[in-house]
Structure 1
């Protein structure tokens, strides 16, 4: 259930999440929610195999043209030209591969922001559990030095300050409060009654009821957008690709004219064909 939790008072949040401020969830209720909602972790889509990622670097039109030029140069005995062109193709492929590989690692960087363990109140007992075993409705205890394991609504805050640079870009720790209620359209950085996964407590202590875990958190939404984003060529890249095709076809046209002109003038067909190929490669 997705709500504007920051726009509700803490009692309403606790009521909607069907939990208890002091006792937390029962063991049975926790197991039921865990089975229904899954673990508190970022879900990663199937990775692109490294070999496939590398192979895609050779599918560009101009790269295929250069590979063809390499073969023709080698066939004509112009080995220095063939080596030079191949070196250009390989360097271009390596750069593209490294860029895509780093993009694939972006989700892993987000995962490193999550806390490994958390203190939670269940059945009236405070206990330390793996952060992946948290569910909405859990009551967590936080203090200076802790990293937030999920998103939550504060129900108690004592001199609590949280550094949220990883999420909002705000370089100064934010003073939090449990008693304020904000309008539904309040921005993420101004929701001072909320805590978010991946942020760190720099001062004070507090208690929060978890409102979202895993891919339902703000960090989870970011991870989802990263994985759903499709790579698109920029307008400049599209124009350069189009220009490259024009140049290739124009070059082939000029070479064809040269070959035909030589043949008309009585030159050897084989000689003119080799001259046209050499000119195209050049």
Structure 2
């Protein structure tokens, strides 16, 4: 049975013991090889997927496949056939504006993802089958027990189960200059969603360990 997927808001609300149970891992030994392979096949790589091979013009034209855009194109064609040229022109201009804005936003999001990808370390240290191993960060799976030391970049969003004087620079992620002092206790604000800065038991991908160590 696969582990339950938890986002950082849900993960920060449960205790360290509960997260170990939910992720079906071992707090001392980590995962075994069979479980690692099973999870890699199910979850894929710990990486962002950005389609860099597709030409810019093709990405732009891809915006015209959206149902709303197709509906507007049909309206423009009908207006043109009915010789309502002003309406056809207005709809066409609206289509171009909407498509261009959507394309710019999508392109900007891809650049932000690529920038975050560059912050992620190529390798990290984790405990598997009771042994400390250095692996490629993209090979991490849910339930892996990562070891964090001062100076490390965080290889994935991690729920901390042990922390000793741990502080992390999250400015690249949140814009907050003040370091985040990490804890392992569960955090909850009732039904209200926790903010990123509230989630002090979470180490976020791409951020930088300033002091201490953790798992």
Name the TM-score, length of structure 2 as normaliser.
Answer: 0.70
Structure 1: give runs of 5+ residues left out of the alignment: 56-97, 208-282
Question: Is 1:41–1:132's contact at 8 Å kept on the other side of the alignment?
Answer: yes
The residue that corresponds to 1:125 in the other structure is 131
Larger Rg, first or second structure (1 or 2): 1
Cα 1:30–1:50 change in 2 (3 A) is same
Summarize the alignment of residues 85-100 of structure 1 with structure 2, pairs less than 5 Å apart. Answer: none
Cα 1:106–1:168 change in 2 (3 A) is closer
The residue that corresponds to 1:231 in the other structure is none
By percentage of residues, which structure has more helix? Answer: 1
Q: Which has the higher contact order (CA 8 A, sep 6+)?
A: 2
Question: Is 1:149–1:198's contact at 8 Å kept on the other side of the alignment?
Answer: yes
The residue that corresponds to 1:265 in the other structure is none
1:177 aligns with 2:188: no
Question: Is 1:53–1:100's contact at 8 Å kept on the other side of the alignment?
Answer: no
- Which 10-residue stretch deviates more, 176-185 or 153-162? 176-185
Aligned-residue Cα RMSD (Å) equals: 2.7
1:204 aligns with 2:212: yes
1:189 aligns with 2:191: no
Report the Cα distance in structure 1 between the residues aligned to 2:133 and 2:26, rounded to whole angstroms.
16
Per-residue Cα deviation, 1:249-272 (whole angstroms, up to 9, x for no partner):
xxxxxxxxxxxxxxxxxxxxxxxx
Decide which of 42, 46, 69 is 1:36's aligned counterpart: 42
Summarize the alignment of residues 1-282 of structure 1 with structure 2, pairs less than 5 Å apart. Answer: 1-2=5-6, 4-45=10-51, 47-50=53-56, 105-183=111-189, 185-207=193-215
Question: Is 2:121–2:137's contact at 8 Å kept on the other side of the alignment?
Answer: yes
Report the Cα distance in structure 1 between the residues aligned to 2:105 and 2:199, rounded to whole angstroms.
35
Structure 2: give runs of 5+ residues left out of the alignment: 62-103
Name the TM-score, length of structure 1 as normaliser.
Answer: 0.54
